[in-house]
C-alpha cells in the first residue's frame, strides 16, 4: 500500500493505492468520488477520461496514478464553474454543443489547452488539435464553432 | 439522483402549511390550499396527478414517462406544459423515467418524444389549467368564463387585482381528478381531456428557442449520470465474455485472480463475472481470470461474405408493406426494365460509453439505476429474470452515454440485477470497450433489390423494392423479457425472437407497385454478438440507401433531372415542398446526372438529393461531394436539409438535433461496418470500428426548417440521418457516373468502384 498526494482542482488530496500502475481515472472516480472524467475505452482512443496535468490534456485511463504526484490535475469541474466559467465552457453553452455530453471532458479540456498555447487558431489548427477526440452524437461541427467563438472572446 | 425527488416531495408535504403562510399575500381564506387531496393517488393512466402536479411553491411538475437521450427533450416538454398551463417556462420541472413516479409512456422510441409524450402532457396541462380556474371561481366570486391565467395566477379578466395563485389553490396537494385514458401503456398510452388546446396564434412559449436545461450540468461536470451512482457496500463488476461466439465456461480458475485484492468470481449457469470492492481491481480480475470455454463453431460467414450469405439464405418470413396494381403485369408491359442492388453493412450502436448500470436487489425488492431508453421495459425484464413481481422492481432512469436505439444498456442492467441478487449487495456493472462494440445488439445488414419497368415514353409503370435482411427484432427492441437480454440467454430463458423488419412506405406513386421485406434466420440463436435489433433510425439507412439511390438510378436511366423525377411521382404537397425547398435553397441547376464535363479531372464535384417521409416528418437532403479519383477520398462539401416536422416547439434545439444527426449519419455512411470472422466479431475498439472524426465532417450543413404551426408535431430525432448515404452516393454518381452500391464509402471501396468502370 503506497501513500500518494495528488493536487486535484486546487485541493491537496492524500490517497492510498495498492497498485502503482492503477490509471489515474480510477483514482479520481473511485477514491476521490469525482464524476468526471468518464470511462470511454480504457485505451486512450476516445478522450472521455481527459483531465489536464500541468495544463496539458492527458488521457487519465492510460496514465498511471504514480506518474502525476506533485503535478497540478484539473478536471472539467475544476476548469470553471457556472459563476466563474472558463471561456471555452461559456462558448460550449452558447453554441449548445452537446447532445449526451458523455465525451465532453476531452473536447473542453483539449480545446482549453489549445487556446492557452494558440489564442487565435485557424479552423485547420482547431481540427488538428481535436482530431483524436471522439463523439458519437455528432457534435464535432458545433465544437468547432464553439472553439472559434471562445477564441474571438479572448 | 432521482430518488431525492421522493425525499424532497415528502419534505415539502410536511412543511406545506408553514411554507404557504409565509408566501401568502392574499386573503386569509387562501392561507392554505384546501382543494384536492393530500396524498398523490396511485400512478395510473386515468389520474390527472399521474401527469401533472403543483408543488407548494407553485412549481408545475410534469411526469414524463419517457427519457431524454441527449437531444434536449426535457426542455421541449417543459415548454409544452408551461404553454398550456400558463406558467413561466422556468416554473416547470420535468420528472423523467422513474417507474415509481411516472407512467410507462414507452421510454424513448421512434422519435415520438414530442408527438406522443409531449402532446399527452400538453393535454393534461390544459386540463389542469381548466380545473384550477374552476377552483378559483368560487374563491373570487366570479364565473369561470370571467377568469384567465397569467404566469400561474388566476385572475379576473376585468381586474388583475382579483387574483389567486396556483400555489394557493392546490400547491402541495393533488387534483384527484380523472382524465380519459385508453387503458393502454407504453407507446400505446393515450389520454383525452375535455378542453381544447391553445391555437398557434396564442403561443408564447411553444416556438421559442429556450436554451437547453441539461447543458450546464454537462459543461461544468456536475451532472450525475448513471455511471456516478455510488451506494454503500456497492461492488464493481465486469462481465467475462468468450472469445468464440456461443462458447460457455467449462472451468474457471479462481486462483488466477487470487492476487487481485477482494476480487471474486460469480458463475451462475453460463453467466460469468468478477466483482471487487474497487473498480480497478474488477478490471484487473477480468483481465487475469483464466477460463476454459466449451467448443463452439458458430461458422459465421465473415463480414466480407455477409451479403453473399444474405442473398443465398432462406426466407423465414416475407412481409409486403404495400402493394398496388400488379408489378408482374406492369413489368410485362414495360419496354425497358432497370434493376439495381444495394448492400448495407452490420453496424453497432457503439456508444461512447460502454453500458453501465447499478442494481440493488434485497429483501424481495429491486431498484435499478439505468440509462436504457426503455426503463419500464427493463424493469419488467429484471422482474422476470429475478422471479419478482413487476411492481417490486423500481427503475430509475438517469442520464448516461448516448444510446441510439436498443443498445447494450438493457443488457448491463440485467447483469447488474442478477449479480446483486446473487451477492445480496448493490452491484455496479460497467462494460469494457470491446463489449460496447463487439457485444451490443446490432443494426442489421441488408441486401436491397429494386426493379423498375418503363413504358415507351420513359414513364415508370412498375416499381418493386425488396429489402432482404435479418429481423430487426431478433432481440426485441423493448427488452421487456428475460429472453431479450444476454443474461437471459446465459441463464436459460427460452428465446422468443420476433421476425419483423418492415420498410418505410415510400410516398412515390406508380401504377403498379410493391414494397416488401424478406427476413433470414439469425447467424446464431443464443447469446450472439451479432443478434439484431433497432439501431437509430431502424427503417432508415439500410433501406433508404438503396431505395433513394435506385430512384436516382431510374432518373438517370430516363435522362431526367433527379429533382424533377421525384416531383413527377410525388403527389402530396408536403412531400413536394420538402424536395422543392431543399433544391431551391441549394441552388439546384436542372440537368440529368451524371455531369459530362469532368471526365478528365482528378477531382470531380457532384450533387445528389434524397427524400423521405417518415411518420409525418418530410425531409429532403442535398449533398455536394468532391471526389478524388486517384485515392477514392470523398470530401463532403455541403449539406442542405429541408425539414418539415409540423409544429416546432424549439427551433434552435431542433436545428441542433438535425445538425448533429447528419454528422452521426455521415459516420455511418462513410466508415461504420462491424467486422467479424468465422468465430467472433473482430471490431473491438475504435481502430477496428472506425468512426467519424472532426477532420472529416461535412464542411457546411445548412438546415431549412419548414414552418407549419397548424400541423401536429411529428418526430425529428432520427429522421434525417437515413438520407445521408443515398444523398452522398447520388452526388458521387453525378460527379463521376459511378454508382456506389455498398456502404460504408471508404476510400478503398470508392476507388475500387471508380476503377471498375
Instruction: Specify the pTM.
Output: 0.95
Q: In the Cβ-directed half-sphere of B340, how many Cα atoms lie within 13 Å?
A: 27
**Do residue B225 and residue A103 have CB atoms under 8 angstroms apart?**
no
Phi, psi of B213 (to 5 degrees): -80, -25
pLDDT in tens, A85-116: 999 999 999 999 999 999 999 999 999 999 99
The predicted structure's pLDDT at residue B418: 98
- Give residues with Cβ within 8 angstroms of B412, minimum separation 6: B355, B356, B357, B370, B429, B430, B431
- Give residues with Cβ within 8 angstroms of B428, minimum separation 6: B229, B230, B234, B235, B236, B237, B279, B356, B357, B358, B416
- The SS3 call for residue B448 is strand
Contacts of B279 in chain A (CB under 8 A): 26, 29-30
Grid cell, residue B131, equals: 380545473
Grid cell, residue B72, equals: 434536449
Cα–Cα distance list, B311 to B469, B516, B519, B592 (Å): 9, 15, 11, 32
Q: In the Cβ-directed half-sphere of A47, how many Cα atoms lie within 13 Å?
A: 23
The predicted structure's pLDDT at residue B260: 97
- The SS3 call for residue B495 is coil
- The SS3 call for residue B470 is strand
Phi, psi of A8 (to 5 degrees): -120, 120
The predicted structure's pLDDT at residue B19: 34
Phi, psi of B519 (to 5 degrees): -105, 135
**Which residues 85-114 of A have a C-beta within 8 angstroms of B?**
85, 89, 92-93, 96-105, 108
For cell 471526365, what's the residue?
B599
The residue among A131, A140, A144, A150 with the most chain B CBs within 10 A of its CB, best to mutate, is A140
**Do residue A130 and residue B660 have CB atoms under 8 angstroms apart?**
no
Facing B659 at nearest CB: one of A19, A104, A142: A142
**Do residue A132 and residue B693 have CB atoms under 8 angstroms apart?**
yes
**Chain B CA closest to residue A133:** B693
**Do residue B220 and residue A100 have CB atoms under 8 angstroms apart?**
no
Grid cell, residue A103, equals: 465525451
CB B353 within 8 A of CB A102: yes
Q: Supply the DSSP symbol for A54.
A: T
CB A110 within 8 A of CB A74: no
CA dist B117 and B713 (Å) reads: 11
- Give residues with Cβ within 8 angstroms of B108, minimum separation 6: B66, B67, B68, B69, B373, B374, B403
Rounded average pLDDT over A65-79? 97
With CA atoms as reference, report the closest residue to B407 among B108, B97, B676, B71: B108
Q: Find how far residue B18's CA is from the centre of its chain.
A: 44
Grid cell, residue B48, equals: 390527472
Host H or E run for residue B610: strand B603-614
Percent of chain A predicted with pLDDT > 70: 100
**Do residue B227 and residue A132 have CB atoms under 8 angstroms apart?**
no
Query: Does the CA dihedral B128-B129-B134-B135 come out positive or negative?
Result: positive
The predicted structure's pLDDT at residue B4: 34
Long-range contacts of residues B265-268, Cβ cutoff 8 Å, at least 24 apart? B265/B289, B266/B237, B266/B419, B266/B422, B266/B423, B268/B418, B268/B422, B268/B491
For cell 429474470, what's the residue?
B385
- The SS3 call for residue B134 is helix
CB B346 within 8 A of CB B445: yes
**Do residue A108 and residue B219 have CB atoms under 8 angstroms apart?**
yes
CA dist B379 and B185 (Å) reads: 14
CA dist B486 and B499 (Å) reads: 19
Contacts of B404 in chain A (CB under 8 A): 136
- Give residues with Cβ within 8 angstroms of B366, minimum separation 6: B359, B360, B382, B383, B386, B388, B392, B393, B394, B417, B420, B421
**Do residue A39 and residue B401 have CB atoms under 8 angstroms apart?**
no
Domains in chain B with CATH codes: 3-219 (3.30.365.10), 227-296+350-438 (3.30.365.10), 558-756 (3.30.365.10)
CA dist B169 and B150 (Å) reads: 14
Domains in chain A with CATH codes: 2-78 (3.10.20.30), 80-152 (1.10.150.120)
- The SS3 call for residue B65 is coil
**Chain A CA closest to residue B221:** A77
Grid cell, residue B215, equals: 447543458
Cα–Cα distance list, B572 to B26, B114, B464, B579, B619 (Å): 56, 24, 21, 11, 13
| ipTM, 2 dp | 0.98
For cell 392554505, what's the residue?
B32
Contacts of A147 in chain B (CB under 8 A): none
With CA atoms as reference, report the closest residue to B592 among B577, B581, B579, B607: B607
Contacts of A131 in chain B (CB under 8 A): 693-695
Q: Supply the DSSP symbol for A30.
A: I
B541-555 per-residue burial string, b: 16 or more CB within 10 A, e: under 16: bbbbbbbbbbbbbbb
CB B485 within 8 A of CB B381: yes
Chain B CB within 8 Å of residue A46 CB: yes
Radius of gyration of chain B (CA): 28
**Do residue B352 and residue A105 have CB atoms under 8 angstroms apart?**
no
**Residue B141: count of CB within 10 angstroms of its CB:** 9
Q: Supply the DSSP symbol for B718.
A: S
CA dist B626 and B724 (Å) reads: 15
CA dist B357 and B488 (Å) reads: 16
Task: Provide the residue count of chain B.
Answer: 757
**Do residue B692 and residue A140 have CB atoms under 8 angstroms apart?**
yes
- The SS3 call for residue A125 is helix
The predicted structure's pLDDT at residue B109: 84
Grid cell, residue B450, equals: 429494386
Q: In the Cβ-directed half-sphere of B231, how many Cα atoms lie within 13 Å?
A: 21
Burial class for B585, CB neighbours closer than 10 Å (0-12, 13-18, 19+): middle
Burial class for B634, CB neighbours closer than 10 Å (0-12, 13-18, 19+): buried
The residue among A108, A110, A135, A138 with the most chain B CBs within 10 A of its CB, best to mutate, is A138
Helix and strand numbers (H, E) in chain B are 19, 28
Helix and strand numbers (H, E) in chain A are 6, 5
Q: How far is A25 from chain B (nearest CA, A)?
A: 9
Mean pLDDT by 10 residues, chain B (757 residues): 36 34 42 87 98 97 95 96 98 97 92 93 98 97 98 97 97 97 96 95 98 97 97 98 98 98 98 98 98 98 98 96 96 98 98 98 97 97 98 98 94 98 98 98 98 97 97 91 97 90 85 96 96 94 97 97 98 97 98 95 97 96 98 98 98 98 98 98 98 98 97 96 98 98 98 92
Amino acid at each position: 500500500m503506497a501513500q500518494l498526494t495528488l493536487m486535484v482542482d486546487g485541493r491537496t488530496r492524500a490517497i492510498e493505492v495498492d497498485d502503482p500502475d492503477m490509471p489515474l481515472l480510477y483514482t479520481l472516480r473511485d477514491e476521490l468520488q469525482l464524476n468526471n472524467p468518464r470511462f470511454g475505452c480504457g485505451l486512450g482512443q476516445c478522450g472521455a477520461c481527459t483531465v489536464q496535468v500541468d495544463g496539458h490534456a492527458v488521457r487519465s485511463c492510460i496514465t498511471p496514478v504514480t506518474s502525476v504526484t506533485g503535478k497540478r490535475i484539473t478536471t472539467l469541474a475544476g476548469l470553471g464553474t457556472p459563476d466563474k466559467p472558463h471561456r471555452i465552457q461559456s462558448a460550449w453553452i452558447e453554441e449548445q454543443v452537446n447532445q449526451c455530453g458523455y465525451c465532453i471532458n476531452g473536447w473542453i479540456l483539449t480545446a482549453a489547452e489549445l487556446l492557452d498555447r494558440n489564442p487565435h487558431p485557424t479552423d485547420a489548427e482547431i481540427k488538428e488539435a481535436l482530431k483524436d477526440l471522439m463523439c458519437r452524437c455528432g457534435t464535432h461541427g458545433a465544437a468547432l464553432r464553439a472553439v472559434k467563438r471562445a477564441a474571438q472572446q479572448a | 439522483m432521482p430518488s431525492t425527488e421522493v425525499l424532497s416531495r415528502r419534505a415539502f408535504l410536511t412543511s406545506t402549511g408553514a411554507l404557504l403562510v409565509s408566501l401568502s399575500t392574499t386573503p386569509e381564506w387562501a392561507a392554505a390550499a384546501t382543494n384536492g387531496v393530500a396524498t398523490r393517488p396511485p400512478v395510473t393512466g386515468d389520474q390527472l396527478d399521474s401527469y401533472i402536479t403543483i408543488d407548494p411553491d407553485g412549481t408545475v411538475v410534469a411526469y414524463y414517462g419517457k427519457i431524454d437521450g441527449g437531444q434536449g427533450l426535457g426542455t421541449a416538454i417543459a415548454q409544452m406544459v408551461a404553454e398550456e398551463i400558463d406558467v413561466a417556462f422556468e416554473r416547470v420541472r420535468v420528472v423523467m423515467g422513474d417507474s415509481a413516479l411516472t407512467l410507462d409512456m414507452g421510454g424513448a422510441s421512434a422519435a415520438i418524444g414530442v408527438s406522443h409524450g409531449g402532446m399527452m402532457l400538453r393535454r393534461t396541462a390544459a386540463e389542469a389549467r381548466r380545473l384550477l380556474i374552476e377552483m378559483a371561481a368560487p374563491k373570487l366570486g366570479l364565473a369561470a368564463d370571467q377568469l384567465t391565467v397569467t404566469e400561474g395566477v388566476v385572475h379576473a379578466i376585468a381586474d388583475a387585482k382579483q387574483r389567486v395563485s396556483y400555489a394557493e389553490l392546490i400547491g402541495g396537494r393533488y387534483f384527484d381528478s380523472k382524465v380519459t385514458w385508453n387503458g393502454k401503456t407504453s407507446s400505446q398510452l393515450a389520454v383525452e381531456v375535455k378542453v381544447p388546446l391553445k391555437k398557434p396564434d396564442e403561443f408564447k412559449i411553444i416556438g421559442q428557442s429556450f436554451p437547453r436545461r441539461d447543458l450546464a450540468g454537462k459543461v461544468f461536470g456536475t451532472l450525475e449520470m448513471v455511471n456516478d451512482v455510488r451506494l454503500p457496500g456497492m461492488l464493481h463488476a465486469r462481465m467475462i465474455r468468450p472469445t468464440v461466439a456461443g462458447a460457455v465456461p467449462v472451468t474457471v480458475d479462481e486462483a488466477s485472480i487470487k492476487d487481485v485484492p477482494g476480487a471474486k468470481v460469480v458463475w451462475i449457469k453460463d453467466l460469468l463475472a468478477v466483482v471487487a470492492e474497487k473498480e480497478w481491481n474488477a478490471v484487473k480480475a477480468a483481465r487475469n481470470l483464466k477460463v476454459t470455454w466449451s467448443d463452439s463453431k458458430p461458422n459465421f460467414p465473415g463480414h466480407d461474405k455477409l451479403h453473399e450469405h444474405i442473398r443465398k439464405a432462406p426466407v423465414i418470413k416475407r412481409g409486403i408493406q404495400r402493394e398496388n396494381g400488379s408489378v408482374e403485369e406492369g413489368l410485362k408491359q414495360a419496354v425497358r426494365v432497370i434493376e439495381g442492388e444495394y448492400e448495407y453493412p452490420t453496424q453497432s450502436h457503439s456508444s461512447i460509453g460502454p453500458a453501465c448500470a447499478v442494481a440493488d436487489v434485497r429483501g424481495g425488492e429491486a431498484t435499478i439505476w439505468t440509462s436504457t431508453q426503455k426503463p419500464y421495459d427493463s424493469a419488467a425484464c429484471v422482474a422476470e429474470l429475478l422471479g419478482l413481481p413487476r411492481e417490486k422492481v423500481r427503475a430509475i432512469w438517469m442520464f448516461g452515454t448516448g444510446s441510439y436505439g436498443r443498445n447494450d444498456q438493457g443488457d448491463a442492467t440485467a447483469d447488474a440485477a442478477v449479480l446483486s441478487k446473487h451477492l445480496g449487495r448493490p452491484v455496479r456493472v460497467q462494460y469494457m470497450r470491446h463489449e460496447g462494440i463487439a457485444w451490443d445488439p446490432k443494426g442489421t445488414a441488408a441486401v436491397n433489390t429494386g426493379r423498375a419497368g418503363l413504358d415507351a415514353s420513359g414513364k415508370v409503370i412498375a416499381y418493386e423494392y425488396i429489402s432482404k435482411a435479418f429481423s430487426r427484432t431478433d432481440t426485441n427492441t423493448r427488452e421487456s423479457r428475460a429472453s431479450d437480454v444476454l443474461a437471459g440467454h446465459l441463464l436459460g430463458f427460452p428465446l422468443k425472437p420476433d421476425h419483423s423488419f418492415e420498410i418505410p412506405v415510400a410516398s412515390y406513386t406508380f401504377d403498379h407497385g410493391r414494397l416488401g421485406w424478406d427476413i433470414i434466420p439469425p447467424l446464431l440463436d443464443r447469446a450472439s454478438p451479432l443478434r439484431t435489433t433497432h439501431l437509430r433510425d431502424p427503417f432508415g439507412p439500410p433501406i433508404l440507401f438503396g431505395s433513394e439511390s435506385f430512384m436516382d438510378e431510374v432518373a438517370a436511366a430516363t435522362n431526367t433531372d433527379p429533382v424533377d423525377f421525384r416531383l413527377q411521382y410525388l403527389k402530396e404537397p408536403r412531400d413536394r415542398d420538402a424536395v422543392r425547398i431543399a433544391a431551391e435553397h441549394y441552388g439546384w441547376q436542372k440537368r440529368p446526372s451524371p455531369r459530362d464535363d469532368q471526365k478528365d479531372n482528378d477531382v470531380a464535384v457532384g450533387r445528389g438529393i434524397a427524400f423521405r417521409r417518415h411518420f409525418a416528418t418530410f425531409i429532403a437532403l442535398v449533398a455536394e461531394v468532391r471526389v478524388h479519383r486517384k485515392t477514392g477520398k470523398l470530401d463532403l462539401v455541403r449539406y442542405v436539409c429541408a425539414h418539415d416536422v409540423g409544429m416546432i416547439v424549439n427551433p434552435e434545439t431542433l436545428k441542433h438535433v438535425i445538425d448533429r444527426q447528419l454528422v452521426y449519419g455521415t459516420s455511418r455512411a462513410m466508415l461504420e461496418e462491424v467486422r467479424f470472422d468465422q468465430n467472433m466479431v473482430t471490431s473491438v475498439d475504435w481502430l477496428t470500428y472506425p468512426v467519424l472524426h472532426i477532420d472529416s465532417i461535412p464542411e457546411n450543413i445548412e438546415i431549412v426548417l419548414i414552418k407549419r404551426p397548424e400541423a401536429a408535431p411529428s418526430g425529428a430525432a432520427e429522421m434525417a440521418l437515413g438520407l445521408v448515404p443515398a444523398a452522398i452516393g447520388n452526388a458521387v454518381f453525378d460527379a463521376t457516373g459511378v454508382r456506389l452500391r455498398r456502404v460504408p464509402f471508404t476510400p478503398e471501396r470508392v476507388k475500387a468502384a471508380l476503377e471498375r468502370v
